[in-house]
Amino acid sequence: MTDIAATTFPSTFLWGASTAPHQIEGGNVGSDFWANEGRVPGMERSGDACDSYHRYAEDMQLLAGAGCTAYRFGIEWARIEPEEGLFSNAELAHYRRMIDTALELGLTPVVTLHHFTNPRWFAERGGWLADDAVDLFTRYVERVTRILDGVEWVVTMNEPNMLSMMTAMGRDMAVRAQAASSAEQDGGEWTSPTVDNGPRPVQLPTPDPEIGQVFVRAHHAAREVLRARTTAKVGWSVANRAYQARPGGEEKMRELSWAWEDLYLAGSAGDDFVGVQSYSVQYVTADGIEPYPDHPDNTLVGTAYRPDALGVAVRHTHEVTGLPILVTENGIATGDDSRRIAYTTGALEGLAAAMADGVTVHGYLHWSLLDNYEWGHWAPTFGLVAVDRETFVRTPKPSLAWLGGVAKRGQL
Ligand code: BGC
């Protein structure tokens, strides 16, 4: 009895997949990420990506054809405002066509307004650390509201917690580059003040809470504009690391939870929903994050195979916010599609169990629809659909039909 109840989803539940503009569109030349791809050694270029800028209708047809009912995609600020204060009506019309296409196919559009990338001009004038950054973002959001008629779900910003970590890294790199160039001019030798030598696993630095507050302000300003000009439900999506404390790690976990997640979850107070994005769990000891040990089950991005992470993530988000939840990302980087189905089955079981315990969840959007550009790398494949990088031919994997089947039945 409980098993059946726990694996049945409401008939209004949204089922689908997520993407981000820079990762699939191709030719996003006006963005800061594009500029950096050319500069950072070892990073692959996004290039034409999946050419979804031109092939979005085909992408959406695949999703809808499989039986899914929702598609999360983003609007690229760098295209809407290619120069400061210069807005492109043609690009606004492009994204409006995407919204219309989704609606015509019976896909509920979930529209993200910012997914990591900024216009290059914005980055060059100080990015999110400039005094008027929030005003500039709000002005862009105002413009976008012109095309949001009929859109029910808007995500203002994707993973502001990851973004604040990346913003701090960018700031620190700029400081180091500046120090290096002054040392060079002085004929002296420069060594990095922050990079440790020695065989330590690469760990992400904790996001800077001051930068985090900038994003909270940006989100609130965007929400105000969206509420005044649209009827959409407004929220943002937070990367959830599904922390689990090792004995003695409880206090450290609370500290990390605040800096990585809860500050941003607190920022969602007053929203209509919160987006949960979850991939793996993260153990915390008294010293901090425990690196993922090498294991044959690890994913292609080196994280542990933990389908149960999603359940942990939605429960934590529910406890902190009490808001309705939309799972805006969950998935696995793997070359073995049967692993993807197994992982997603486990994740949905955890989700259903949380819902049975009273957590309100409105939908599940898998990351990702396509094998796409994973921020500097093409090898980690997260897609329900493979994409030939030369011809852009799409080949659905069995997991797409599988997810569509779950969507049609509303049942695992
Ligand atoms: C991001 C995506 C990314 C995915 C997998 C999320 O952090 O929103 O853009 O591709 O994780 O790494």
Query: Of all atoms in ligand 1, which is nearest to the CA of residue 301?
Result: 12
CA of 140 to the centre of ligand 1 (A): 23
282, 340, 367: residue to mutate for ligand 1 pocket, most atoms within 8 A of CB: 367
Tell me which of 37, 159, 349, 374 is the catalytic residue. 159
% of the chain surpassing 90 pLDDT: 88
Determine whether 25 is an active site residue: no
Distance CA 247, CA 260 (A): 20
At residue 268, the pLDDT reads 98
How many separate helices (H) and strands (E) can be counted in the chain? 15, 13
Give the pLDDT confidence of 264-288 residue by residue, as tens digits: 999 999 999 999 999 999 999 999 9
CA of 408 to the centre of ligand 1 (A): 26
CA of 64 to the centre of ligand 1 (A): 22
At residue 6, the pLDDT reads 53
CB 71 within 8 A of CB 63: yes
Q: Is the alpha carbon torsion for 174, 123, 221, 269 positive or negative?
A: negative
Domain spanning 13-178+204-407 has what CATH number? 3.20.20.80
- Rounded mean pLDDT of the chain? 93
Distance CA 210, CA 216 (A): 10
Query: Of all atoms in ligand 1, which is nearest to the CA of residue 158?
Result: 8
Residue nearest to atom 5 of ligand 1 (CA): 374
Query: Of all atoms in ligand 1, which is nearest to the CA of residue 162?
Result: 7
Q: Which residues have C-beta within 8 Å of that of residue 65, sequence separation ≥ 6?
A: 404
Residue 384 has pLDDT above 60, yes or no: yes
Residue 199 has pLDDT above 50, yes or no: no
Query: Of all atoms in ligand 1, which is nearest to the CA of residue 331?
Result: 5
Give the pLDDT confidence of 3-58 residue by residue, as tens digits: 545 589 999 999 999 999 999 999 999 999 999 997 888 899 999 999 999 999 99
Q: Which residues have C-beta within 8 Å of that of residue 228, sequence separation ≥ 6?
A: none
Alpha carbon distances (Å) from 335 to 85, 297, 383, 403: 43, 12, 10, 17
Tokens for 273?
């929903």
Q: Strand 361-367 to strand 325-330: parallel, antiparallel, or no bridges (unpaired)?
A: parallel
Query: CB-based burial of residue 267 (10 Å sphere; 0-12 exposed, 13-18 middle, 19+ buried)?
Result: buried
Residue 185 has pLDDT above 70, yes or no: no
Q: Show me where the domains of the chain are located.
A: 13-178+204-407
Residue 112 has pLDDT above 60, yes or no: yes
At residue 193, the pLDDT reads 29
At residue 170, the pLDDT reads 84
At residue 7, the pLDDT reads 82
Average pLDDT of the residues in 68-90 = 99
Residue 1 has pLDDT above 50, yes or no: no
Per-residue pLDDT band at 78 (split at 50, 70, 90):
very high
Q: Write b or e for each residue in 222-242: b if 16 or more Cβ atoms lie within 10 A of its Cβ, otherwise e.
A: bbebbeeebebbbbbbbbbbb
Per-residue pLDDT band at 172 (split at 50, 70, 90):
confident
Query: Of all atoms in ligand 1, which is nearest to the CA of residue 382?
Result: 5
- Of residues 198 and 412, more confidence is placed in 412
Per-residue pLDDT band at 121 (split at 50, 70, 90):
very high
- Of residues 175 and 218, more confidence is placed in 218
329, 332, 384: residue to mutate for ligand 1 pocket, most atoms within 8 A of CB: 329
The model carries a pTM of 0.94
At residue 188, the pLDDT reads 40
Which H helix or E strand runs over 283? strand 282-285
Q: Write b or e for each residue in 150-176: b if 16 or more Cβ atoms lie within 10 A of its Cβ, otherwise e.
A: ebbbbbbbbbbbbbbbbbbebbbeeeb
Residue nearest to atom 12 of ligand 1 (CA): 374
CA of 182 to the centre of ligand 1 (A): 36
Q: Dump strand ranges (E) for 67-171.
A: 70-74, 108-112, 153-158
CA of 1 to the centre of ligand 1 (A): 36
- Of residues 196 and 270, more confidence is placed in 270
At 17, give phi and psi (nearest 5°). Answer: -145, 165
- Helix/strand/coil (H, E, C) string of 374-398? CCCCCCCCCCCEEECCCCCCEEECH
% of the chain surpassing 70 pLDDT: 94
375, 378, 384: residue to mutate for ligand 1 pocket, most atoms within 8 A of CB: 375
Nearest to 245 by CA among 276, 287, 277: 287
CA of 250 to the centre of ligand 1 (A): 27
The ligand 1 site (C-beta within 6 Å) comprises 20, 23, 158-159, 162, 239, 277, 329, 367, 374, 382
Give the pLDDT confidence of 298-350 residue by residue, as tens digits: 999 999 999 999 999 999 999 999 999 999 999 999 999 999 999 999 999 99
Q: How many CA atoms lie within 13 A of 33 on its CB side?
A: 27
Residue 203 has pLDDT above 90, yes or no: no
